Amino acid sequence: MSQRPSYAVGTGLFIVLGFTALGYLATQTTSVANTSRGPSYTVEAHFANIGQLKERAPVKVAGVRVGQVQSIVLDPGKETADVKLAIDNRYSQIPDDSVATIFTSGLLGDQYVGIQYGNSKKAVADGGTLALTRPAQQLEEMLGKFFGAGGSADNLSGSYQVKARFTNVGALSVGAPVKMAGVAIGSVQSVKADPVKLDAEVALSIDKKYSQIPDDSAAAVFTSGLIGTQYVAIQPGGSPDMLKDGDELVLTQSALQIEDLIGKFLVSGSSSDKKDASSSKADTGSKH
């Protein structure tokens, strides 16, 4: 009987230790540690391009987390992404002319929505919209502007099969996503080298829902982030006619080769080597 207290105390200690460890795991190492899951209100923002923004990405003001992304939807027929932001009720004084911008944490980090306050006296209400937004920056677009390469885009057609020709598709592979305003609307069906025109013919299959794409839209081969996979981005044009099955996108922008860009930049470019390489690639393709 005198032995009983010793193991009883030890067992009690064991149980307390176990529950302490559980409490530590649950509160100090998980998202509970930095989210106050208080009541929140919803604000909408429309972005021309959301890049790699994901649902539940943080919303920050001055770098401090104030809420999270609730949902991301591409409005069929429009080329903007509707992003719903759930913002903590404590931060209800956000001016309605504030600017919502998609930022990236570091070079390879996740994307988040940053809100920069405006000057308006009126605060944005629950269900309201932040009218001023800045889209995610595409590395290729920036590089293209910088080197005067990008710009014009090709023509796209409808909800089904559309063709686009590129002088260079980079590492684009079959099954890669086709995105508009950063949201996937279809996929790459095939990538073939044309034996006559000596360029790459890419067949895109696009969801029927998105049948309102102008036929002078442009297709460009972009890369997700610095080391991500490549995808085809569709930049809508202004034509009143819409793309139809079997149409061809006339305006295209090929994949930017980092080597090319660096070569131009350093003036010691090896562009002739690259041309040989791409034409011999086309030759091999024609033999099949």
Partner 1 sequence: MSATMSRDNIVLRSLTQIGECGLFLLRMLAAVPRSLRHIRETVRQLWFVGAMSLIIIMVCGLFVGMVLGLQLYDVLSIFGGTSATGTVVAIAIYRELGPVVTALLFAGRAGTSVTAEIGLMRATDQIAAMEMMAVDPIAYVAVPRFLAGIVAMPLLCCVFCALGIFGGHLVGVTWLGIDNGTFWSNMTATVEVVKDVINGVLWKSVVFGTVVSLIAVFQGYTTPPTSEGVAYATTRTVVASSIAILALDFVLTAFLM
Between 77 and 109, name the residue whose CB sits nearer to partner 1: 109
Element (H, E) at 221: strand 218-223
Residue 182: other Cβ atoms inside 10 A: 25
Of 11, 71, 89, 279, the residue at the interface with partner 1 (CB under 8 A) is: 11
Residue 280: other Cβ atoms inside 10 A: 10
Provide the edge-to-edge strand list for the sheet that holds 177-180: 248-249, 161-166, 200-206, 183-193, 177-180, 230-235, 218-223, 251-253
Between 111 and 253, name the residue whose CB sits nearer to partner 1: 111
Could you say whether residue 13 binds partner 1 (CB under 8 A)? Answer: yes
Applying the rule CB under 8 A, the residues between 67 and 126 that interact with partner 1 are 108
Element (H, E) at 255: none
Summarize the chain as % helix, strand, coil (round to 5): 20, 35, 45
Could you say whether residue 22 binds partner 1 (CB under 8 A)? Answer: yes
Could you say whether residue 286 binds partner 1 (CB under 8 A)? Answer: no
Of 7, 117, 146, 147, the residue at the interface with partner 1 (CB under 8 A) is: 7
Q: Smallest distance from the beta carbon of 56 to partner 1, in angstroms?
A: 10
Applying the rule CB under 8 A, the residues between 32 and 51 that interact with partner 1 are 32-34
- Please give the Cα distance from 264 to 261 (Å, whole number): 5
Between 14 and 146, name the residue whose CB sits nearer to partner 1: 14
Locate all alpha helices (DSSP H) within the chain, ordered by sequence. Answer: 4-28, 139-147, 258-266, 271-287
Q: Under a CB-based contact definition with an 8 Å cutoff, are residues 102 and 116 in contact?
A: no
Between 108 and 277, name the residue whose CB sits nearer to partner 1: 108
Radius of gyration over every alpha carbon of the chain, rounded to an integer in angstroms: 26
Stretch that binds partner 1, among 1-9, 202-210, 265-273, 274-282 (CB under 8 A): 1-9
Stretch that binds partner 1, among 3-11, 165-173, 229-237, 273-281 (CB under 8 A): 3-11
Interface positions with partner 1 (CB under 8 A): 4, 7-8, 10-11, 13-15, 17-19, 21-22, 24-26, 28-34, 58, 108
